[in-house]
Structure 1
């Protein structure tokens, strides 16, 4: 018996096809994020911070944060994402729903795209005035801390060079 032959184009196309969505899961819809709008909103409001993690099933749990945002169980949300973060906002036709126990199941493709891994810390930034939640993966937290310390170091160097010893 001779093995079947495949046209090389068929093999490449099959390798690039997206896997099917598992039953009960949804594929996150890609929405364009206006980074300027997000920047203005985050810098123009009181923020509520929380550390959390995503479990092995992709569930984010933060009852306190959802309560702060006044997002009860059953609230439907839509997701918009940047390269390394997710922006969640209420939407009547949202593909995500806050669960009874204050959990939110995030689609695996969204978690993967945003670099959010199971059992890794995530930073939740809630802006209640704008009814939104920004979810940052652990690598963003590390980058924020490094940026803060670098700015402190640069200020210290600048003071020494300029003769300002306050």
Structure 2
């Protein structure tokens, strides 16, 4: 878990180190079902900041409903150099579905 700061930055050195991402690593960011999918891309227009933060562009944050102070779940897949960023609304939906399944299909 990491917080989005007032400039749209996310900092988690452990996750970024596991991915091998350093300052200037070119990245591509897409949004699928309100989840950010971020991966290395030689032609990527986004990148890690010189301070080692991942900056999420404003249009991406708006599309996912992210605001300053939101905590996001970071799920890294180093073997594919991909990071999934799950916003709070996505986590709420995933957990509601999981809990419904545990309760035999009845949503709480």
Pairwise CA RMSD: 1.4
Tell me the TM-score normalised to structure 1 length: 0.59
Tell me the TM-score normalised to structure 2 length: 0.88
2:73 is aligned to 123
Q: Larger relative contact order (C-alpha < 8 A, sep ≥ 6)?
A: 2
Q: CA deviation at 1:102?
A: 2.0
2:11 is aligned to 61
| Mapped partners of 1:72, 1:57: distance in 2 | 19
Equivalent residues in 2 for 1:130-149 (5 A)? 130-149=80-99
| Mapped partners of 1:73, 1:57: distance in 2 | 17
Q: Where does structure 2 lack aligned partners over 5 or more consecutive residues?
A: none
| Mapped partners of 1:141, 1:101: distance in 2 | 28
SS at match of 1:72: coil
Q: CA deviation at 1:152?
A: 0.9
For the pair shown, which has the larger CA radius of gyration, 1 or 2? Answer: 1
The answer on whether the counterparts of 1:83 and 1:113 sit within 8 Å (CA) in structure 2 is no
The structure with more strand, counted as a fraction of residues: 2
The structure with more helix, counted as a fraction of residues: 1
| Mapped partners of 1:83, 1:99: distance in 2 | 26
| Mapped partners of 2:88, 2:55: distance in 1 | 18
Equivalent residues in 2 for 1:43-54 (5 A)? 51-54=1-4
| Mapped partners of 2:55, 2:102: distance in 1 | 38
Aligned residues: 105
SS at match of 1:73: coil
| Mapped partners of 1:63, 1:104: distance in 2 | 10
Equivalent residues in 2 for 1:77-156 (5 A)? 77-154=27-104
